[in-house]
Amino acid sequence: MNVRRDPRVLLLDIDRAAEKIAGYIEGMDFATYATSAGVQDQLERNFITIGEALNRLSLVSPELSERIPNAKDIIGFRHKLVHGYDHIDAEIVWSAAVDDLPALRKTVRSVLAGLDRAADNQPSPQTGDRR
């Protein structure tokens, strides 16, 4: 399977981007964020990655995408960041990072854990035994 079409890889991309965002703003308040163009760029870039990975996930595995609450809104947010780059509201990006991202990370990690459990219960191709 093409790596970019592997749902697990897409979910890992989302988790990694979310982890980066959390790291960039750790210990930061909005006032500092609002005056830090570099951190704003980093958050926007990683939210774009999250939205694109979710969009691809919705195409290759709609049933997994449906397990992510607000997936369509997150994809729409990515669209606004890319195509409305000249009207990005720092407060909205900050709010998404602080208020929404922790729940997304928890959900994505739960879905990944479910995929791992399902893979562990698959018969081995060589022996037919469970892993």
Residue 68's nearest CA partner among 55, 78, 79, 81 is 55
Residue 125 lies in a domain: no
Residue 75 lies in a domain: yes
Residue 71 lies in a domain: yes
CB 104, CB 65: distance < 8 Å: no
Residue 124 lies in a domain: no
**Residue 131: per-residue pLDDT:** 45
Residue 105 lies in a domain: yes
Structural domain of residue 21, as residue ranges?
A: 3-119
Residue 17 lies in a domain: yes
Number of domains comprising the chain: 1
Its pTM stands at: 0.87
Residue 128 lies in a domain: no
Residue 131 lies in a domain: no
pLDDT digits (tens, 9 = 90+) for 70-105: 999 999 999 999 999 899 999 999 999 999 999 999
